[in-house]
Structure 1
Amino acid sequence: MTAPKTDWRNPGPAPTEGPLIDTFGRIAGDLRISVIDKCNLRCTYCMPAEGLPWLEKDEILTVDEIDRLARLFHSLGVREFKITGGEPTVRRELPEIVERVCALDDVDVSITTNGLLLDRLARPLADAGLRRITVSCDSLLRHRYAEMTRRDAFEKVTAGLAAAKEAGLDPVKINCVVIRGTNDDEAVDFARLAHDGGYDVRFIEYMPLDAERTWERDKVMPAEETLAAVSAAYELTPVAQDTPQPATAFRFADGAPGALGFIPSVTNPFCDSCNRMRITAEGAFRVCLFALEETDLRSALRAGTDDAELERLIREALWHKWPGHKINHPDFVRPDRSMSMIGG
Structure 2
Amino acid sequence: MTTRALGDRYGRVATDLRVSLTDRCNLRCSYCMPPEGLEWLPDETVLTDDEVVRLVGIGVRLLGIREVRFTGGEPLVRRGLPGIIRGVREAGPDLQLSLTTNALGLSRVAGTLAQAGLDRVNVSLDSLRPETFAQIARRQRLEDVLEGLAAARAADLGPIKVNAVLLRGVNDDQGPELLRWAIAEGYQLRFIEQMPLDAQHRWRRTEMIVAAEILAALEREFTLTPAREPRGSAPAELFLVDGGPATVGVIASVTRPFCGDCDRVRLTADGQVRNCLFAREESDLRTALRAGASDEQIADRWVVAMRGKRAGHGIDDPTFLQPDRPMSAIGG
Would the aligned equivalents of 2:5 and 2:303 in 1 still touch at CA under 8 Å?
A: no
Pair 1:37-2:26 in alignment: no
Q: Which residue identity does 2:29 align to in structure 1?
A: C
Picking from 238, 249, 267, the partner of 1:279 is 267
Q: 1:154-173 counterparts in 2 under 5 A?
A: 154-173=142-161
Report the equivalent of 1:90: 77
Report the equivalent of 2:237: 248
Post-superposition shift, 1:180?
A: 2.2
Report the equivalent of 2:58: 72
Report the equivalent of 1:25: 11
Post-superposition shift, 1:69?
A: 0.8
Matched residue of 1:184: which SS? coil
Where do 5+ consecutive residues of structure 2 fail to align? none
In the aligned structure 2, how far is the partner of 1:141 from the partner of 1:22? 44
Would the aligned equivalents of 2:106 and 2:148 in 1 still touch at CA under 8 Å?
A: yes
Deviation digits for residues 205-230 of structure 1 (CA, Å, limit 9, x no counterpart): 01111111111212211112211221
Would the aligned equivalents of 1:176 and 1:201 in 2 still touch at CA under 8 Å?
A: yes
In the aligned structure 2, how far is the partner of 1:110 from the partner of 1:230? 28
Deviation digits for residues 184-215 of structure 1 (CA, Å, limit 9, x no counterpart): 11110111012211111110001111111111
94-103 or 82-91: bigger deviation: 94-103
Q: Which residue identity does 1:261 align to in structure 2?
A: G
In the aligned structure 1, how far is the partner of 2:135 from the partner of 2:162? 19
Would the aligned equivalents of 2:3 and 2:64 in 1 still touch at CA under 8 Å?
A: no
Q: Mark the CA change 1:18 to 1:282 in structure 2 (over 3 Å): closer, same or farther.
A: closer
Post-superposition shift, 1:254?
A: 5.2
Post-superposition shift, 1:250?
A: 2.3
Deviation digits for residues 140-168 of structure 1 (CA, Å, limit 9, x no counterpart): 11111101111111111111111111111
TM-score normalised to structure 2 length: 0.95
Q: Which residue identity does 1:29 align to in structure 2?
A: T
Where do 5+ consecutive residues of structure 1 fail to align? 1-15
Q: Which residue identity does 1:124 align to in structure 2?
A: T
In the aligned structure 1, how far is the partner of 2:158 from the partner of 2:247? 12
Q: Which residue identity does 2:315 align to in structure 1?
A: I
Q: 1:135-284 counterparts in 2 under 5 A?
A: 135-239=123-227, 240-241=229-230, 243-253=232-242, 255=244, 258-284=246-272
Would the aligned equivalents of 2:20 and 2:72 in 1 still touch at CA under 8 Å?
A: yes
Post-superposition shift, 1:279?
A: 0.7
TM-score normalised to structure 1 length: 0.92
Would the aligned equivalents of 2:201 and 2:322 in 1 still touch at CA under 8 Å?
A: no
Would the aligned equivalents of 2:190 and 2:251 in 1 still touch at CA under 8 Å?
A: yes
Q: Mark the CA change 1:43 to 1:127 in structure 2 (over 3 Å): closer, same or farther.
A: same
In the aligned structure 1, how far is the partner of 2:322 from the partner of 2:221? 36
Q: Which residue identity does 1:86 align to in structure 2?
A: G
Give aligned pairs, total: 328
Would the aligned equivalents of 2:123 and 2:161 in 1 still touch at CA under 8 Å?
A: yes
Q: Which residue identity does 1:210 align to in structure 2?
A: D
In the aligned structure 1, how far is the partner of 2:30 from the partner of 2:128? 16
Would the aligned equivalents of 1:81 and 1:108 in 2 still touch at CA under 8 Å?
A: yes
In the aligned structure 1, how far is the partner of 2:239 from the partner of 2:119? 22
Report the equivalent of 2:117: 129
Query: How large is the RMSD of aligned CA atoms in angstroms?
Result: 1.5
Q: Which residue identity does 1:175 align to in structure 2?
A: N
Matched residue of 2:151: which SS? helix
Deviation digits for residues 6-36 of structure 1 (CA, Å, limit 9, x no counterpart): xxxxxxxxxx964211000001111000111
In the aligned structure 1, how far is the partner of 2:178 from the partner of 2:132? 14
Q: Which residue identity does 1:218 align to in structure 2?
A: T
In the aligned structure 2, how far is the partner of 1:219 from the partner of 1:137? 20
In the aligned structure 2, how far is the partner of 1:244 from the partner of 1:64? 30
Q: Mark the CA change 1:242 to 1:224 in structure 2 (over 3 Å): closer, same or farther.
A: closer
Post-superposition shift, 1:242?
A: 5.9
Picking from 271, 276, 283, the partner of 1:295 is 283
Q: Mark the CA change 1:249 to 1:331 in structure 2 (over 3 Å): closer, same or farther.
A: same
Q: Which residue identity does 2:101 align to in structure 1?
A: T
In the aligned structure 2, how far is the partner of 1:182 from the partner of 1:102? 40
Pair 1:48-2:34 in alignment: yes
In the aligned structure 2, how far is the partner of 1:186 from the partner of 1:98? 35
Deviation digits for residues 24-71 of structure 1 (CA, Å, limit 9, x no counterpart): 000111100011111000111111111111123222111111111111
